[in-house]
Structures are given as C-alpha cells and as structure tokens.
Amino acid sequence: MKKIEIIADKQARLDVVCLEKVDKTRSALKKLIDEGLITVNGKPEKAGKTVKSGDKIEISLPDAKPLDLEPENIPLEIVYQDEDIAVINKPQGLTVHAGNGVKGATLVNALLYHLDSLSGINGVIRPGIVHRIDKDTSGLLVVAKNDRAHISLSEQIKDKTCGRIYVALLEGVVKDDKGVISTLIGRSDKNRTMMAVKTTGRRAVTHYEVIKRYKDFTLCRFILETGRTHQIRVHAKYMGHPVVGDPVYGYKKQAFKLNGQLLHAQKLQLNHPSTGERMTFEAPLPEYFSEVLKKLEKK
C-alpha cells in the first residue's frame, strides 16, 4: 500500500485540500475517506472535516488490483521493432491501456498479441508503456520490450531528450507565427475527468508554430516540453483556438463530421537504449485528417 503525506497549507475542508494535492477524482477520495484510509494527525476524519494549516494528512492508496489482460488480435501498425523497443503508429479510437471502466480492446491487449516481450516496470496493467497518447489522438509512441529499455526511455522523457512533435488543426486563425504556452495544469474543479489551467496545477510547457492558415482554421505544429494529461488540447483551448473535433475541449458545433480531435503525433525522436543511436520516426497524417485539409484547400 502506497502512502502519501500532505502538510495542509491553509484552512479548508479535508476533501478540498486532498483534491488540490492528489491526482484523484472527488468520488475516489470520498471512498478513501469513508474507508478510513485518509487521516488527519493520525485520526480518520470525515470529508467535511476542517483542517488547519500545518495539519498532517496521510493518504493510504491500496495497491491496484491486477487485471487479467489477454492478448487480442487487434490490427497494429508496427513502424519499427528490435529486441529493446517497438514504435507503434496508434490509430484514433484505440485506448492505450485499461482503466476508468476500460477492460479490453486496448493497445496493451494488442501488444501482448503482436510482441514477444514487454517491460514489467509499470506492472500488469501497463506493460511496456513508457508514455501514452489520448484515445482519440493518432500517431507515434514508443514501447519498451524490457526493463532496461524502459528505464532509459523514461529518463530521456524526463531529461527532454526524447522529442515528441504533434500536428493539429485548430479552430480560428492563430495570429502569431510561433510561441510558447507556459501554464500550470491540473484536474478541473468542475469536472474531475477534465484537465484545466489552474494555479494549483503542475508546470506545463508547449511550443507551437503555424504551418498554414486557412480561412477559419490553422494547421499548427506542437512540441512538448512537458507531458501533462491532455496538455496540447488544454493549451489549444487556453489559446482560444481549440483542436478541431475535440469532444471535450472543443466547440460544441463542429464544421466536420469527425470521431475525435484532429491531433496527430507525427514525429518521435529518441536515443536507442542499447546503442545510443539517435533515431527519428515519422508517421503521415491519417486519411480522415488529410481529407479535411483537402476540403480547406478547395475553399
């Protein structure tokens, strides 16, 4: 069981303080409180308990229950593979790993079928997964086939030597040719399944540059400096130009009939875990993305 210790920095309800400090939903935290797994100064308390600055809050997180993951013959585009890594071009609509009610038909299920080995650092739920992209985002991600490769890739992401470049079509016309968006991102107070720019979030930095402007849209390139959940989508909304087709952060009224956002992980750069060779991989835009651009070209 993992334990997290928090020192309250203000007077507020117990559940409010925990929400700001731990990446959990309100309902998940309430369950922990009800089960006596969250204590204040060593004593279990109710969610509405008022804590004071300096109070010691301890959160006990039960170990995740292992899932019975089965290999599934899901079509998978393997761009590159050797004994250490595999680079996958993930299609839109495929969830990376189980969780939040998703139990099967994930990228992990497909990896278990197509690959002969996966790293075990992330346990049985996320074998081989070093980083992920959203279900409705397409494009490249690297998978570790052994623990040594996993550690190397994780360190590269942490040290920012693993380059991840995305392409997205944004609503409206972006004024500046390029720029940097630097904010704090955390769980939304209104909807805990969403992320938002907020003062209590974690540092998030995204670089962008305009590729092409259309009448009412802009094609942009994004380079991640950090890797927060939904980072590009949240920052695009923060710019006032949400990603086209985004069902969560985008406009309610969409100009095109799409099954998700036009956001594609186009380019991946990394140092090979064994040889140190600098490797670059690129994936072309999926057909549905290219078709939208063709329509805009005609206009």
12 vs 225: CA distance, rounded Å: 34
Q: Is 9 helix (H, G, I), strand (E, B) or coil?
A: coil
> How is residue 77 written in tokens?
């585009």
Amino acid at 154: S
Amino acid at 182: S
Is the Cβ–Cβ distance between 143 and 88 less than 8 Å? yes
With tokens 């909807």, the residue in question is 191
Residue 279 host element (H or E): strand 278-282
Q: Is 118 exposed, middle or buried, given 0-12, 13-18 or 19+ CB atoms closer than 10 A? A: buried
> How is residue 238 written in tokens?
């923060």
Residue 151 host element (H or E): helix 147-158
Q: Is 37 exposed, middle or buried, given 0-12, 13-18 or 19+ CB atoms closer than 10 A? A: middle
Q: Write down the catalytic residue from 15, 84, 134, 246.
A: 134
Residue 134 annotated in active site? yes
Active site residue ranges: 134
